[in-house]
Amino acid sequence: MNIFFGNIKKAGEGTRKKKSKLKEWIEAVIFAVVAATLVRTFIFEAFVIPSPSMEKTLLVNDFIFVSKLSYGPRIPNTPLAWPFTLHTLPFTKNTPAFSMAVQWPYKRLPGFGKISRNDVIVFNYPCGDTVLKSKGGEDEDYYNLVRGLGYDRVWKDYSPPVYRPVDKRENWIKRCIAVAGDTVSIDEGIIYINGQATSSPRHFEARYDVSMPDHKKMSDSLLNKLDIDRRVRDTQDSTIFSYTLVSDNVDALQAMGAIVKRRATIVGAGSDIRIFPFDPQHYEWNEACLGPIYIPKKGATIKLDTFNLSLYQRAIVTYEHNSLQVRNGKIYINNQETDNYTFKMNYYWMMGDNRDESLDSRFWGFVPEDHIIGKAWLIWLSYHQNRIRWRRLFSVIR
């Protein structure tokens, strides 16, 4: 009996075809791509910091891991897409890397926690739903251009806009200043949440005018020693130079005998059309003085009128997919006259730690919860001027 079955086994082994090297290689690549895509979608994803808006918390060319598990992984809206791409195929300028043939509604799996104030968060740029392409193939903000140049000129001078679903919009990173249900305001550059002044982040940067004892610019060696960015702004006084500094820089320079003064922020009302909600007729705000603004919370109902409509119109129409018209001073949502609205999602207010160099919620408003990608977690690599910043490696982002 053992001999009989032993012979059958040997016969079966002899009939198997050995896989070719090419087939083994293809199967290994497919497995690696699928595994990496699952990790990238549901566990963590790698990003690189491209701008100084979060200095000194995060520096240009910091490579970070973003945790998808912190708030719960988001199910992709556009599942038909090339792996490891965002919205455009590599080495092309306008070729989409995704198909909108299949669109899934917003859904997020359970996570380890909820978004809290002062979390550093990666999200899809809220106004990235519509972009224009420059002659060089770079993205340009459609809404900013329309506000600056006018609708007719933009449609005349530019090629037709490109439309993108939520999960294919550009990735941005900022600090969450206010969460759903909060009321935020800024007065003389100081942020107030629910009427209480907030403290600045540990590495908060601001512009200062510096006059050294010898009335010269700081040397490169001193800039390196104090870890000060070399982006210098000259002032009208040839003995005074403007730098972006953190509080430790200010203390060190003052100890050396330098005169250091914070650059005056714009105080009072303005008429800057760049500032949210882009309605200077009703809200004459600027980047240093705005609010109070209520941050929408899921299930919360607010009173609507023609005065506050500009604050919430984009949330109602673009993010929550309703129709809205104003006729004879009356508001119609989905063709029904109303004076209130109940929000379907939570929203957040984001700002950069380098406030004077940050394009953030002051310039484009709320971030909806379906735009949230994850929580910035760890710096795994960092370099500057072709040198690794060793002390930043594997540091936790706070």
- Inside any domain, residue 247: yes
Instruction: Yes or no: say if 362 and 53 are a contact pair by the CB < 8 Å rule.
Output: no
Residue ending a domain, among 342, 361, 392, is: 342
The residue type found at 319 is Y
| DSSP-based three-state secondary structure for 212 | coil
- Inside any domain, residue 27: no
CATH number of the domain enclosing 232: 3.30.70
Q: What is the pLDDT of residue 380?
A: 96
Please give the mean pLDDT across all residues of the chain: 88
For the cut 90, the answer to whether the pLDDT of residue 56 exceeds it is no
d(CA 382, CA 386): 10
Any residues with CB less than 8 A from the CB of 289 and at least 6 apart, and which? 186, 187, 188, 266, 267, 268, 269, 270
Element (H, E) at 122: strand 120-124
* Tally of domains in the chain: 2
- In 3D, which of 352, 67, 78, 393 has the Cα closest to residue 206? 352
Q: What is the pLDDT of residue 357?
A: 83
- Tens digits of per-residue pLDDT, 357-395? 899 999 999 999 999 999 999 999 999 888 999 999 999
- Inside any domain, residue 275: no
Instruction: Yes or no: say if 72 and 96 are a contact pair by the CB < 8 Å rule.
Output: no
Confidence of residue 5 (pLDDT cuts 50, 70, 90): very low
Average pLDDT over residues 41-65: 93
CA dihedral 296, 350, 100, 26 (to 10 degrees): -140
For residue 330, the enclosing domain spans: 301-342
- Inside any domain, residue 31: no
- In 3D, which of 107, 83, 174, 202 has the Cα closest to residue 375? 174
Six token digits for residue 361? 């919620």
Q: What is the pLDDT of residue 374?
A: 97
Q: What is the pLDDT of residue 239?
A: 80
pTM of the entire predicted model: 0.86
Residue ending a domain, among 342, 370, 393, is: 342
Q: What is the pLDDT of residue 264?
A: 62
For the cut 50, the answer to whether the pLDDT of residue 269 exceeds it is no
The percent of residues above 90 in pLDDT, for the chain, comes to: 58
- Inside any domain, residue 226: yes
- Inside any domain, residue 284: no
Residue 261 bridge partners (DSSP):
209
- Inside any domain, residue 220: yes
- In 3D, which of 276, 71, 53 has the Cα closest to residue 184? 276
- Tens digits of per-residue pLDDT, 319-365? 999 999 999 999 999 999 999 999 999 999 999 998 888 999 999 99
- Inside any domain, residue 170: no
